[in-house]
Chains A and B, each alone.
Chain A
């Protein structure tokens, strides 16, 4: 069974800190790994990592894919209260006719002022 595991499940830090969120996966036919930010309703897309793009950066957020270790990290530097959210990791698979994503349970990040 395909599995995506995120850690920690929850994290509380102070504004200005740097955080690292982890995602590991055990899947067949890996194709891509995606990170989403979910505040109250819709998860919003952050990054997609594939074999041809293992590192992405946008402002204070960055992510790296380690295909050897079957894992990814999401880094957030100089955190702000607006970064408080649930961060979701998902894996896309190739073949088999299914195009849906397999999600982890998420990391609930709380930034205290």
Chain B
């Protein structure tokens, strides 16, 4: 069966510091991968998606970037965090387009 792992579970960072969140999927190959953010009072918002190694599409211009260095690894990064980057970050995978997406447990990011 397939599993998805995200870490860390919680993170407190000062404004202006860098960020690296990691997500890995096991039990499948060549999955579609996604990063979402869930801010207070708002629905989940798609940030990035990837259909293969090195292929990243961004949905929302912002302070963040994503990379996919390996088939089942997806990384969310920032060089300098802003207060507005606070939120709950969720990674998800799907077998292919138009298949259900399955989510990791998320990272709760607080910026001080």
Contacts and interface: CB of A to CB of B under 8 A. Distances in A.
Are A and B bound to each other? yes
Nearest to A9: B41
Given A42-B90, A43-B90, A92-B98, A101 B105 contact: no
**Secondary structure dominating the interface of B:** strand
Interface in A37-85: 41-45, 48
A103 B43 contact: yes
Interface residues of B, number: 24
A88 B105 contact: no
A94 to B, nearest CB: 8
A45 B98 contact: no
Contacts of A100: 34, 36, 46, 49, 59
Contacts of A45: 100-102
**Secondary structure dominating the interface of A:** strand
A4 B43 contact: yes
B43 A99 contact: no
Contacts, number: 57
Interface in B86-104: 90, 94, 97-98, 100-104
A14 interface: no
A101 B46 contact: yes
B29 interface: no
Given A88-B43, A101-B44, A43 B100 contact: no
Given A97-B57, A98-B59, A31 B42 contact: no
B106 A41 contact: yes
Contacts of A42: 90, 103-106
B21 interface: no
Contacts of B104: 42
A105 B105 contact: no
Interface of B: 32, 34, 36, 41-46, 49, 51, 57, 59, 90, 94, 97-98, 100-106
